[in-house]
């Protein structure tokens, strides 16, 4: 949707809750950081280090898709 409009207005329950240029609004929001760890890296240690820098609101583990495992297997 970001490619369709330069400006947006978000209405919730009949009230404007957010309005402005898409680029400006995107930079106002919370960012998401994705960290891809190599096999054997202690994810808990990485999490602890990140928490020392800033409070975290979400942490999850995403398993690779079968297609990604295939690509990794045949690339090596």
Give me the pLDDT at residue 60, please: 84
pTM greater than 0.75: no
At 13, is the secondary structure helix, strand, or coil? Answer: coil
Reading the chain (76 residues) residue by residue, the pLDDT tens digits are 667 788 999 899 999 998 988 888 877 767 777 888 888 999 999 999 999 998 888 888 888 899 988 988 898 6
Give me the pLDDT at residue 37, please: 87
CA–CA separation, 27 and 22 (whole Å): 9
CB 17 within 8 A of CB 9: no
Backbone angles phi, psi at 48, to 5 degrees: -60, -40
Token output for 23: 């680029």
Give me the pLDDT at residue 1, please: 61
């Amino acid at each position: 949707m970001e490619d369709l409009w330069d400006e947006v207005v978000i209405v919730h329950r009949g009230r404007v809750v957010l309005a402005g240029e898409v680029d400006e609004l995107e930079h106002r929001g919370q960012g998401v950081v994705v960290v891809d760890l190599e096999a054997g890296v202690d994810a808990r240690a990485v999490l602890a280090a990140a928490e020392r820098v800033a409070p975290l609101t979400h942490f999850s583990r995403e398993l690779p898709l079968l297609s990604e495992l295939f690509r990794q297997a045949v690339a090596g």
